[in-house]
Structure 1
């Protein structure tokens, strides 16, 4: 059973001053705990990151081993048919890993519900800054740190910066700050949201979130 929740925010400008407008976000969340959905979505996200290219050779794939090392009887040693047996050094691997595709299916509605539930749980950690995409015009880290200081954002904690478009100046200004992750609103995911202690949104990114993830 899902219910609607409304969150209202007062945006800030890049100088940290409150504006006279409000931004509202309507989220559909589960009436009871949605932790199981978050867990399933994190499993899906982690499985997509796996390459699945690890591979070992079986005894039939290891080079050599065509000749019987010694005769079957009379030597006093154990029987051996190939020096590429898994029991020998340099031999094949028994039940070793092979390339495979690991996938974890989750319905689109479940993914959206998990993301909206996490956004609602993090509602107290969200700050909205007006015109951040075009407000950063210089390729300087110092300028973005000044904006964070004006808006009382702690750069010692994990920060998720969600924007509608990645400008060259914004990417250059944030790439040298280890605790800042810059993502597009259309690529927002529960893994990044869960790690973040502070979330910075813009009015344009809120519109993208509404169009992409909210009904």
Structure 2
């Protein structure tokens, strides 16, 4: 069973956390990864590029010159494609770009990336990432104390929105904050290190391991937190 070290905000190792084998210990499926990444990038395209044909450009209501006697090729309109300000032939037109991927494939791709992060020690688990007030300097100190190389891209995945963490991180060029429900393959691959609180790990195991919905997983974690605080 895979495991990872849990750190505190001072960068000290506090415990060893066992991870789900079916989420963090699978063999990465490169074919599925490629297909999911391609689909996600394609689905980001707006598809609103557009050009005008000769029937849509303005002007060109009369012949540029008479039909015969000039020695030149006959022309019917100055808005034909060969003229300046003429229409465009076979130019781009608005159309949707969409590539649908089955849910099982998307989840397999997520498990593949997470397993690769664990295998290469690029997944950093922290017991608590909360801040008393938004302050960029405090967030930089936390990131510098954690075992992530300087200058590397870091993705912080939170179990719930924390405004102090979001505001403290937005001016750090090498760091990005994301809610766990928005976890996706492209963002995981773009960043060298992924930092997750323990609650995020448990949410991922419930959704991608046990097959619960995002709402059910959030509710279960909230109930567990309430019981532990009682």
- Compute the TM-score of the two structures, normalised by the length of structure 2: 0.84
Quote how far apart the aligned CAs of 1:208 are. Answer: 1.9
8 A contact 1:112–1:214 mirrored in 2: no
Pick the aligned partner of 1:128 from 125, 129, 132: 125
Cα distance in structure 1, aligned partners of 2:177 and 2:24: 25
User: Counterparts of 1:55-94 in structure 2 under 5 Å?
Assistant: 55-94=50-89
Q: Is 2:160 aligned against 1:160?
A: no
Q: Is 2:101 aligned against 1:106?
A: yes
8 A contact 2:55–2:87 mirrored in 1: yes
Runs of 4+ that moved beyond 6 A? 29-32
SS in 2 for 1:22: strand
8 A contact 2:79–2:87 mirrored in 1: yes
Quote how far apart the aligned CAs of 1:14 are. Answer: 1.2
The verdict on how the C-alpha distance between 1:212 and 1:194 changes in structure 2, with shifts beyond 3 A counting, is same
The verdict on how the C-alpha distance between 1:33 and 1:173 changes in structure 2, with shifts beyond 3 A counting, is closer
In the alignment, which residue of structure 2 is the partner of 1:207? Answer: 202
Q: Number of paired residues?
A: 208
The CA RMSD measured in Å over matched residues stands at 1.9
Which shows bigger deviation, 79-88 or 151-160? 151-160
8 A contact 1:72–1:79 mirrored in 2: yes
List gaps (5 residues or longer) in structure 2.
211-230
Quote how far apart the aligned CAs of 1:20 are. Answer: 3.8
The structure carrying a bigger helix percent of its residues is 2
SS in 2 for 1:11: strand
Q: Is 2:146 aligned against 1:151?
A: yes
- Compute the TM-score of the two structures, normalised by the length of structure 1: 0.90
User: Counterparts of 1:17-36 in structure 2 under 5 Å?
Assistant: 17-20=12-15, 22-28=17-23, 34-36=29-31
